Amino acid sequence: MASDTLTSSARTDAEISGLDALEIAGRDKEISRGARIWAATWPKLAALTIAILAWQLVVWSGWKPPYSLPGPMEVGRELISQARGPQLWDGLVTTLRRAAVGYVFSAAVGLLLGLAVARSKVLRAAIGSMITALQTMPSIAWFPLAILLFELSEKAIFFVVVLGAAPSIANGVISGVDYVPPLLLRAGRNLGARGLNLYRYVIAPAALPAIVAGLKQGWAFSWRSLMAGELLVVGISQTSLGAQLTYSRDLSDAPWLLSTMIVILVVGLVVDAAFGAADKAIRRRWGVLDQAGN
Amino acid sequence: MTSTTTAPQGATTAVALSGVTKVYGRGTSAVLALDGVSLDVAPGEFVCLVGASGCGKSTLLNLVAGLDRPSGGQIGLAGDTNPGLMFQEPALFPWLTVEGNVEVPLKLRRLPRAERRERVAELLRTVHLADFGRKRPHELSGGMRQRVALARTLALDTPVLLMDEPFGALDAMTRDILHDELERIWSERQLSVLFVTHNVREAARLADRIILLSSRPGRIIYSTEVNIPRPRRIDSPEVAAIAADVTERLRTEVGRHGQ
């Protein structure tokens, strides 16, 4: 009997490892790092080339005079000369400082508000739909009020940036908590996670993808609000990127205007790419990254 | 612990249900899911609950697991830990590795790191996944994931294991092998198991005792001991004979609802 059990258990061991080996065979597909980067990069480079080409063609067509629509070469030269002087960098620092302060504050407000609304039925009934309504409000529509309240000041910009970004972040948290699979909650509770531990071990990590999506959207809103604010609230700081846009228009300096726009675009893209990378890392861990790898 | 949960007398029962009733909803729309279910599971006993849809099998497990409260009756459990509960889905946390998943109950019990590491390794060896600790759940097959879930449940160190159709979503080959595995782990660890299934053969393969529940409301209508020596095979004639008997009674019960 003893030897019988032994052989049968040894047989089971062999069967199990055999089955495991068969079932997960061929799941690992290794692509070299270089190939992956190239695959992600070349379509972007091609699109950029086409965009610049189209721009050049419009300039060559003579649709607008060169002093209002300069070509890519001229703007490129302006961009390089701007990059050599202090003005662009000062503006960038001013703008990024405002963006960082406003965004960090928005993130804190949004996370706390979202968590509170997700937890409390009363709060949800009271302000749940208001948060969504706030999200649809174009942030520029807040500026007249902000200027009445805070005059033409940093505070007015900060006010609008937070109102623009915080609702998106709060909504991300709310939907993240709402869509935690009930099965995972039951499993977590059965494993001994109650109260705060349930948040720490199950709800927060399960909600993370939606929270990151909310943070990403919140960034887009705060960046737009900030640009609108810097265009309107000129004069408090000489060099912010938004102020440079206004001055270049006043001076009819089209190359300066376009090169400033390019800088604004690049900043937005870089931050967006950072969020994209975070999102992708999460999806890879979760095993929900699609085959195309985008 | 709920007010209706008391420790059973002595060590003669691992799970003791007496007159357990569960009603969902109120007033005219109230649905009686379980009606006076009394059932004792002895320490080290393997009990299978079989029934058609709507017999409240899963409701019963939720009540025993403490995830829901009974409307009436008493539920007693040996030991003071919650029983471990396994579902048809592995319900693994996708953001954690295999090791991380098994470690969660140990972390929640505040075991020191070194001890946790040792226990995780031991549990993964138990379910034959020692080499897969660093993988993520999505990298494993369905049967492997269910074994990770088993290891994670065993990490609770509870004498009572509740299983809600845990192999229902697996192919027959994998299921057979997991039956062998579960039988081995159950006897090595002297667990008391309450196992819900709609697969009568599976019940005859695994159980010391099969309990048949009626549907709407759930009541115990039949109970039979399975005295086939272990290890068993699911395709053995003895298992088939028991399964045929239980299936016949299950069909009679299902037919009652068609009239």
Q: Residue B41 — φ and ψ, nearest 5°? A: -110, 120
Radius of gyration of chain A (CA): 26
Q: Of A265, A271, A270, A258, give the one whose Cα is nearest residue A79.
A: A258
Nearest to B231 among A8, A183, A287 (CB): A8
User: How confident is the model at residue A188, as a pLDDT?
Assistant: 95
pLDDT band at B144 (very low <50, low <70, confident <90, very high): very high
**B240 to each of A25, B170, B228, how far by Cα in Å?**
35, 20, 11
Residue A179 DSSP class: T
Q: Are A176 and A243 in contact (CB under 8 A)?
A: no
The pLDDT value given to residue B1: 39
Q: What is the ipTM of this complex?
A: 0.88
Answer whether residue B114 is part of any domain: yes
Neighbouring CB atoms inside 10 A of A294's CB total: 10
* Contact residues for A29 (Cβ-Cβ < 8 A; gap 6+): none
Residue A26: predicted pLDDT: 61
Instruction: Report, as an integer, the average pLDDT of B239-243.
Output: 93
Mean pLDDT throughout B229-258?
89
Beta bridge partners of B213: B51, B220
Q: Tell me the residue type at A259.
A: S
Measured CA to CA, the distance from residue B38 to residue A204 in angstroms comes to: 39
In a domain, B144, yes or no: yes
Average pLDDT over residues A128-140: 87
pLDDT at A289: 61
**Residue environment code for A108-143, b if the CB has 16+ CB neighbours within 10 A, otherwise e:** ebbbebbbebbeeeeebeebbeebeebbeeebbebb
Contact A13 B174 (CB under 8 A): no
Instruction: Nearest by CB to A12, from B93, B109, B180: name it.
Output: B180
Q: Is residue B150 part of a domain?
A: yes
- State the pLDDT confidence band at A6, using cuts at 50, 70 and 90: very low
The mean pLDDT value for B112-133 works out to 94
SS in 3 state form for B169-216? CCCHHHHHHHHHHHHHHHHHHCCEEEEEECCHHHHHHHCCEEEEECCC
- What confidence tens digit (pLDDT) does each residue in B7-48 have? 544 557 899 999 999 998 888 888 888 888 999 999 999 999
Chain B residues with CB-CB distance to A192 below 8 A: 82, 105, 108-109, 156
Q: Average pLDDT, stretch B163-185?
A: 91
Model pLDDT, residue A203: 94
Whether A16 sits inside 8 A of B128 (CB atoms) is yes
**Cβ–Cβ < 8 Å for B73, B219:** no
What confidence tier does B78 reach under pLDDT thresholds 50, 70, 90? confident
Give residue A216's pLDDT band: very low, low, confident or very high (50, 70, 90): very high
Scan for tokens 């239980």, then name that residue: B246
Number of domains in chain B: 1
Q: What is the pLDDT of residue A3?
A: 44
Q: Which distant-in-sequence residues (6+ apart) come within 8 Å of A77 by Cβ?
A: A255
**Which site among B126, B147, B180 would you substitute to test the A interface, given the most A Cβ atoms closer than 10 Å to its Cβ?**
B180
Share of chain B above pLDDT 90, in %: 61
pLDDT, residue A293, reads 41
From A180, which residue of chain B is nearest by alpha-carbon distance?
B93
Q: Is B251 exposed, middle or buried (0-12, 13-18, 19+ CB in 10 A)?
A: exposed
State pLDDT tens for residues B99-114.
999 999 999 999 999 9
Please, are residues B34 and B62 in contact by the beta-carbon 8 Å criterion?
A: no
- In this complex, do B67 and A191 lie within 8 Å of one another by their Cβ atoms? no
* pLDDT on residue A10: 72
What is residue A211's three-state secondary structure?
A: helix
Return the higher-pLDDT residue of A6 and B232. Answer: B232
Q: Do the Cβ atoms of A39 and A293 come closer than 8 Å?
A: yes
Residue with tokens 């009394």: B38
Of residues A19, A187, A287, nearest to B174 (C-beta): A19
Q: Tell me the per-residue pLDDT of A47-62, one tens digit each, with 9 for 90 and over.
A: 999 999 999 999 999 8
Q: What percent of chain A has a predicted confidence (pLDDT) above 90?
A: 52
Instruction: Find the range with the poorest average confidence among A33-42, B14-23, B134-143.
Output: A33-42
B79 located within any domain: no
CB-side neighbour CA atoms (13 Å) of B198: 14
Residue B125 CB coordination number (10 Å): 12
pLDDT reported for residue B81: 67
Contact A5 B231 (CB under 8 A): yes
List the one residue out of A103, A102, A104, A95 whose CA is nearest residue A265: A95
- Average pLDDT of chain A to the nearest whole number: 87
CA-to-CA distance for A7 and B194, rounded, in angstroms? Answer: 28
Q: Is B143 on the interface with A (CB under 8 A)?
A: yes
Question: Which of A3, A190, A283 is the best mutation test for B, with the most CBs of B within 10 A?
Answer: A190
| Domains of chain A, residue spans | 79-285
A157, A169, A42, A185: which is closest to A104 by C-alpha? A169
Q: What is the Cβ-side half-sphere exposure of residue B42, based on CA atoms within 13 angstroms?
A: 7
Residue B141 lies in a domain: yes
Enter the pTM of the model: 0.83
- Burial class of residue B141, CB neighbours in 10 A (0-12, 13-18, 19+): middle
CATH number of A79-285: 1.10.3720.10
DSSP run (H or E) holding A263: helix A254-286
CA-based nearest distance B62→chain A, Å: 9
Please give the residue range of the domain that contains residue B96. Answer: 91-157
Question: Per the domain annotation, does B203 fall within a domain?
Answer: no
Residue among A128, A236, A112, A231 at smallest CA distance from A162? A112
Contact yes or no for A224/A164 (Cβ under 8 A): yes
Q: What is the C-alpha to C-alpha distance for residues B226 and B201, in angstroms, rounded to an integer?
A: 12
Instruction: Find the radius of gyration of the CA atoms of chain B.
Output: 19
Q: For residues A17 and A23, what is the distance between their CA atoms, to the nearest angstrom?
A: 10
Tokens read off for B188: 């090595």
> What's the pLDDT score for residue A41?
86
Whether A171 shows a pLDDT value over 70: the answer reads: yes
* Dihedral in degrees, nearest 10, Cα atoms A128, A129, A135, A141: -120
Q: What distance in Å separates residue B118's CA from the closest CA in chain A?
A: 19
pLDDT-based confidence at residue B4 (cuts at 50, 70, 90): very low
The residue of chain A with its CA nearest to that of B63 is A190
* A80-106 mean pLDDT: 93
Strand-pairing partners, residue B194, are B47, B162
Report, as an integer, the average pLDDT of B209-237: 89
Are B141 and A24 within 8 A, CB to CB?
yes
> Is A178 exposed, middle or buried, given 0-12, 13-18 or 19+ CB atoms closer than 10 A?
exposed
CA dihedral A60, A66, A72, A74 (to 10 degrees): 130
Q: What angle do CA B96, A185, A284 make, to 5 degrees?
A: 30
A-B contacts (CB, under 8 Å): 94
Of A87, A113, A73, the residue nearest A218 (C-alpha): A113
